[in-house]
Structure 1
Amino acid sequence: MRSSIHLTAREQRITWQLLEILHSSLDLHEVLRGAYGALCQLLPADHGALCVSLPGDPTAYDWAVADLPPELFAGYAALAPHDFVRSAVIAQPNVVLRDSEMLPRGAIERSLMYRRSRELGMRLEQAMAVLLAVEPGWHGGITLYRDRQRPFSDRDRALMQQLAPSIAAATRSCRRFGDSVRRGDALEAALRREGMEVLVVAPPAALLSRSAGAEALLERWFAPVERSASALPMPLADALAAAAAAPASCTQAAPWVRRTSDGELRVVFVPFVERGRKLWVLELREGTAVAAAPAVWRERLTERQVEVAERVLRGWDNALIAEDLACTPATVKKHLQRIYDALGVPSRTALMVHAAQRG
């Protein structure tokens, strides 16, 4: 992540976990709940809320995270005009604000919102929030509260400001996909991503829908004996079964890759929950035979480490990398650990995110 503030090793680890969570699913609630957990490790808070406005009514909210007394929400319609946090962030969208930048301290303590929270046994002494103006007509929001008079620091504000665009982008992707599923064309949002085809699959391997160019792509990369009109090609079905069986702690399955001398097909498996039904979105992307490492990596890695990193970016596992570089999987594993240490990333997924963010 590009950052103008120095992150400790712990902060760097949690930040990469947060980025992995944001890329791990297209289910809005799952993503925002995971993001909130990571945020509270980086920016300790006693309470918080993450939400998006509801379609057709920007004053009503879908609370993905509501770590606040339920009684506060029961009467929120009457409190909303007196919510100094909400009023402040609406006036300055996409800007992280602390309570000291919202109202003078005396005005906060006289506000109905502050007094009501104290009646409910919750002391909203400090706050930090941002309104994410994701797209015209709707928005998201992040608010963190502290019960004690321990202000959020300048550094806290700067860190949240730098994380906000990534959270907004993930929120946008989830919301677009969810809206299109509800309209019956689950691929509409995903198809806007240039150069990618998409399959929507119901486990174990039933094809529910596909993008316009997906069938031609499948014909190019899979032999007739591997394909079925209503089901995934067998190699992808096997890879999906492995992804579905992975432990819950795995935020994203490793990409499946098929390569030829001319190029490769890379398939990413993304879980999606629609009205309680577990589906999978398969993102298929064709690429050239070589994936180049970002230039800045070459300043930090040895030539051999660059070769390993480039093959990781192509989605290869350790055994395939070892075969291609004529070494052992154990040697590849050692190279990978040195790569992670040199670049300050904790995992394969984080390495891919790191490369994508550097173009």
Structure 2
Amino acid sequence: MGGPSLQLDAHEQGLVLELVETLGSSLNLSEVLDGAYGLLARLLPTDCAAMCVSQPELPGGYDWVVTRMPEAFVTHYGELSAVDFVREAVVHQPNVVLRDSEMVTPRALERTALYQRCHEIGFPMRHVMSVLLDVRGDWHGGLTLYRERQRPFSDNDRALLQRLTPMLVSTVRNCRLLGQQSRRAALLDTLFHHQGAECVVLAPSGREVMRTAHATALLEQWFSPLERGPGGLPLALLAPLARLSGARGLEAPPPDAWLREGPMRDLRVTYVPLPPDGAGRREWALLLRETPHGTPLPEAWRERLTPREAEVVSAVLRGWDNQLIADDLKCSLGTVKKHLQHVFDKLGVSSRAALLHHAARKQ
């Protein structure tokens, strides 16, 4: 992998400085890499190029951030990946730039399945330079540049891309970590503003990360001191998460909602998995919500409704909003609204208020 030291003229040095500034200009990955590619293409002229990052939530799937490729290549890459000698070569040497001559001999290139399939779809791939960007965690990125027959990549080309690789790795890592944190923050904001609910966020070990202002009072109201462990967290709420500890548990579905009944109202606790943090650890949000005892479902209505519609109406009569009903039934808000509209049509009412009024009159 040795070679001559990197040689750049004044114009190329200026482009490198501009590229470095662009890589640090934003934390929007697509925006940064699209802008950076424009400068990179002036330093390393290519006929085609692609850059993608893996998606942890879709093993084997790729998010194509930069595609200066024939559409057929991207469309068919799922089948091409199995014969992609470029991918096979760089995956064993992460963060090391390789040229086609270091992946396969020139004589053997035209016999590879990738070369033949690319020509079949109208992509005359000949010279390649690629690097796997190993950003740690369970995902990575990759940058591949292609040229046609008469323009092989030089030692200086490889040295330049190698010099830029640590900056590309850092950019991809920082942007993806910010994206994860932004999604976590948005979800937490939604949970914390969930109407009528309090929230406690726990680490996988059961250690508390944060809680909303009135969560403490709610826990003390519903759990005696003997029921609460260190930090005031009820052991009954921690037990379901303890059973999910370990790597395999993180992929398991959330525990069922926890319910404690009271004389006038109930306490319902819903377990919500949060997106993994930067180290891949999944935290849990416990949504705590009091719900008053509602009007029983009239038996005459039960005969006219489907079992699922009856569940929705019973929840409405307990004072639950659509989001809480959706969480309980593990369905979408849209599905709850459709059930309610069918209920309104069957019972001849026009609103939730009318539904509550008619149910009270039938008691």
**Please, what TM-score do these two structures have when normalized by structure 1?**
0.49
Higher RCO (Cα < 8 Å, 6 or more apart): 1
Mark the structure with the bigger radius of gyration.
2
Larger relative strand fraction: 1
